[in-house]
Amino acid sequence: MNRDEILEGIMRAAGISKANINRFYEGLVELAKKKLASDGEFVFPGLGVLRVRVRKARSGRNPKTGESIQIPRRRVVRFGAYKELKDILNQEGAPASAAESDSDEEAKKA
């Protein structure tokens, strides 16, 4: 889903104008950015948590030239789903993504 599809879905479900949903969405994004920058964590009740993690500096290789390079330490954001969400996704009969369906079919052929 892209941003517009998300906003459209919320608008239909909540019966709120697109302008109000847009303001809400922008506010939520700004709040998430501020909380991640200050606390390193942003909680989406009922879904999961966005957390800042640090990736250590490491050696890598430029795929184009094959040259060895040093990749610097950096901060990244990771999402951790709550148990309830994981349970819903792992129920028998839950719809699989297209990528999963393709890999399942390939595994059966092998």
Confidence at residue 95, expressed as pLDDT on a 0 to 100 scale: 72
**Long-range contacts, stretch 100-103, CB < 8 angstroms, 24+ apart:** none
Tell me the pLDDT tens digit for each residue of 58-81: 999 999 999 999 999 999 999 999
Out of 25-29, 83-87, 100-104, the most confident range is: 25-29
pTM of the model: 0.70
| DSSP helix/strand/coil, 72 | coil
Which one-letter DSSP state was computed for residue 62?
-
pLDDT tens-digit profile of 1-46? Answer: 999 999 999 999 999 999 999 999 999 999 999 999 999 999 999 8
